[in-house]
C-alpha cells in the first residue's frame, strides 16, 4: 500500500429505542458538529412501517425522544395518519 494513501473508515455506534419492555428497535447513531461548532447526535432507526430519524444536543435527550416517538409509531399508528389538508384557491395544502 502506498504511504500517501490512508485507509478511510467510519465508526458507527448502534443505538436502540424501546417503547416498552417487550419491544426493542435498533439503529445507528452519529455524532456530528453543526455550522456553529455545537455538537449533536443523530440517529436513524428502522421501524416496521418506516424509518425514524431524530437529532438532539445530548444522547440522553435523544434516547428519551426516540422511545416516545417509537411508542407513537407502534401504538398510535402515527404513520397511518395521512394528516389534514385544506383547499385554498383549488390547491391542496397540508396542515402541520
CATH number, domain containing residue 28? 3.30.160
33: domain range?
A: 13-95
pLDDT for residue 4 = 60
| Residue in 18, 20, 39 with CA at minimum distance from that of residue 30 | 39
32 within some domain:
yes
C-alpha cell at 80: 397511518
pLDDT for residue 44 = 87
The total number of structural domains in the chain stands at: 1
pLDDT for residue 2 = 56
From residue 63, alpha-carbon distances to 14, 41, 49 in Å are 12, 10, 20
7 within some domain:
no
5 within some domain:
no
86 within some domain:
yes
CA distance 30 to 50: 19
Is residue 52 within 8 A of residue 35, CB to CB? The reply is no
6 within some domain:
no
- Mean pLDDT in runs of 10 for the chain (96 residues)? 65 77 84 88 81 86 84 69 77 73
pLDDT for residue 79 = 55
pLDDT for residue 63 = 84
pLDDT for residue 20 = 77
26 within some domain:
yes
Amino acid at each position: 500500500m502506498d504511504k500517501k494513501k490512508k485507509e478511510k473508515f467510519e465508526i458507527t455506534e448502534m443505538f436502540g429505542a424501546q417503547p416498552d419492555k417487550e419491544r426493542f428497535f435498533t439503529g445507528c447513531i452519529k455524532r456530528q458538529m453543526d455550522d456553529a461548532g455545537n455538537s449533536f447526535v443523530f440517529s436513524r432507526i428502522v421501524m416496521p412501517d418506516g424509518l425514524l430519524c431524530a437529532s438532539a444536543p445530548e444522547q440522553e435527550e435523544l434516547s428519551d425522544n426516540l422511545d416516545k416517538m417509537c411508542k407513537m409509531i407502534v401504538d398510535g399508528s402515527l404513520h397511518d395518519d395521512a394528516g389534514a389538508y385544506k383547499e385554498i384557491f383549488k390547491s391542496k395544502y397540508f396542515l402541520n
